[in-house]
């Protein structure tokens, strides 16, 4: 009964029957018979489950090359001279070449140790879609605001004084808090999502191979991916929308009042809201004149009409 390489267990008996591919073979030692020992050639073999070291003895070094598909009968998997675990045929085992496999290597495998790498393409592909998707959230929040029409501004010219009084700086401050909230969401969700992930970050070229394009299709077919995107959007957009709603409902600005009047096609009175703005602007101009500092006067003043 054949076993897979991942199921091999060290033992002192010749009971291993398996089939594998010779991935790479170490070069023949320069002084193989210097100490009267039979020459050995360590090699790296693998199947679809794992990769292990295989020790070739004597004539086996010349009988098998990289890419050969080999069937091992009555092999042994044990420590060799107390150093490392090796799979080998031994005196009772038998090796038979049953085919060839053509492979192309980017680099020569490290023969000093066998490493099991659990890298995943999910990291890079998901980060790409994540950045494109989540970076537009602050833009979507500002898209909820509608610019005032020229007709509304002409009917309510006092809104110009509101804008000149520096009230737009509040929007900039709010935008800073929105970006801070976005940064916190990005940090918390991604750190927790990849907390137990052992994969490494992968680097790709600007124009990936054709096989890379199929990864996105497989990724989009997974419900957890879209659940993660919806979770990020909900957590990121929720506080921003709630803050805008409560501000526009319980403490609306002059611009919010005009926007509401435009939607309802009604009239609104901004005198009560702009009275404090006018007082602050008047005291500010008086202070600037007292200090002999030039002040840019607005083109329009509420008392001019």
Summarize pLDDT for 204-236 with one digit per residue, the tens: 444 444 555 566 667 777 787 788 777 777 776
Same domain, 75 and 158: no
Same domain, 180 and 230: yes
Same domain, 126 and 264: yes
Is residue 116 assigned to a domain?
A: no
What per-residue confidence (pLDDT) applies to 125? Answer: 55
CATH at residue 19:
2.40.50.140
Same domain, 130 and 235: yes
What per-residue confidence (pLDDT) applies to 178? Answer: 65
Last residue of a domain, one of 100, 132, 158: 100
Summarize pLDDT for 111-152 with one digit per residue, the tens: 444 444 444 555 555 566 556 555 655 555 555 555 666 777
- 289-to-161, 232, 278 alpha-carbon distances in Å: 19, 52, 16
Residue 87 and residue 16 in contact, taking contact as beta carbons nearer than 8 Å: yes
Is residue 224 assigned to a domain?
A: yes
- Phi and psi at 119, nearest 5°, equal -70, 150
Residue 219 and residue 122 in contact, taking contact as beta carbons nearer than 8 Å: yes
What per-residue confidence (pLDDT) applies to 212? Answer: 53
Of residues 233, 232, 239, 250, the one with CA closest to residue 177: 239
What range does the domain containing 131 cover?
122-269
What per-residue confidence (pLDDT) applies to 116? Answer: 43
Same domain, 129 and 88: no
The residues of the chain scoring below 50 in pLDDT are 111-119, 168-169, 199-209, 277, 280-281, 284-289, 292-305
DSSP secondary structure letter of residue 204: -
Is residue 301 assigned to a domain?
A: no
Cβ-Cβ contacts under 8 Å for 25 (sequence gap 6 or more): 41, 42, 43, 44, 56, 61, 64, 65, 66
What per-residue confidence (pLDDT) applies to 164? Answer: 57
- In sign, the C-alpha dihedral spanning 175, 181, 187, 192 is negative
What per-residue confidence (pLDDT) applies to 94? Answer: 86
Same domain, 69 and 195: no
Model pTM greater than 0.85? no
Is residue 165 assigned to a domain?
A: yes
* Rg for the chain, CA atoms, rounded: 37
Is residue 275 assigned to a domain?
A: no
Same domain, 140 and 203: yes
What per-residue confidence (pLDDT) applies to 142? Answer: 55
Residue 165 and residue 280 in contact, taking contact as beta carbons nearer than 8 Å: yes
3-state secondary structure 94-126: EEEEEEECCCCCCCCCCCCCCCCCCCCCHHHHH
Please tell me the total count of domains within the chain. 2
């Amino acid at each position: 009964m054949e076993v897979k390489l991942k199921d091999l267990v060290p033992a002192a008996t010749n009971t291993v029957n398996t089939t594998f591919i010779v991935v790479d073979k170490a070069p023949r030692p320069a002084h193989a018979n210097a100490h009267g020992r039979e020459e050995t050639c360590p090699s790296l073999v693998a199947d679809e489950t794992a990769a292990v070291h295989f020790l070739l003895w004597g004539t086996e070094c010349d009988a098998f090359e990289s890419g050969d598909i080999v069937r091992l009968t009555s092999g042994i998997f044990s420590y060799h001279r107390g150093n490392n675990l090796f799979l080998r045929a031994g005196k009772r085992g038998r090796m038979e070449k049953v085919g060839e496999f053509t492979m192309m290597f980017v680099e020569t495998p490290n023969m000093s140790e066998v490493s099991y790498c659990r890298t995943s393409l999910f990291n890079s592909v998901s980060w790409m879609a994540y950045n494109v998707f989540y970076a537009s959230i602050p833009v979507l929040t500002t898209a909820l605001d509608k610019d005032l029409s020229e007709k509304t501004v002409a009917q309510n010219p006092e809104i110009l004084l509101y804008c000149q009084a520096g009230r737009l700086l509040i929007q900039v401050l709010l935008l800073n808090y929105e970006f801070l909230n976005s940064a916190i969401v990005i940090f918390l969700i991604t750190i927790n999502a990849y907390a137990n992930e052992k994969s490494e970050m992968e680097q790709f070229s600007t124009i990936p191979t054709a096989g890379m394009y199929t990864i996105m299709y497989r990724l989009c077919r997974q419900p957890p991916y879209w659940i993660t995107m919806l979770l990020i959007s909900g957590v990121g957009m929720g506080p921003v929308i709630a803050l805008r709603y409560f501000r526009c409902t319980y403490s609306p600005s002059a611009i919010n009042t005009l926007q509401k009047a435009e939607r309802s096609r009604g009239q609104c009175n901004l005198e009560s809201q702009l009275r404090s703005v006018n007082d602050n602007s008047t005291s500010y101009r008086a202070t600037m004149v007292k200090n002999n500092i030039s002040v840019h006067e607005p083109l329009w003043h509420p008392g001019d009409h």
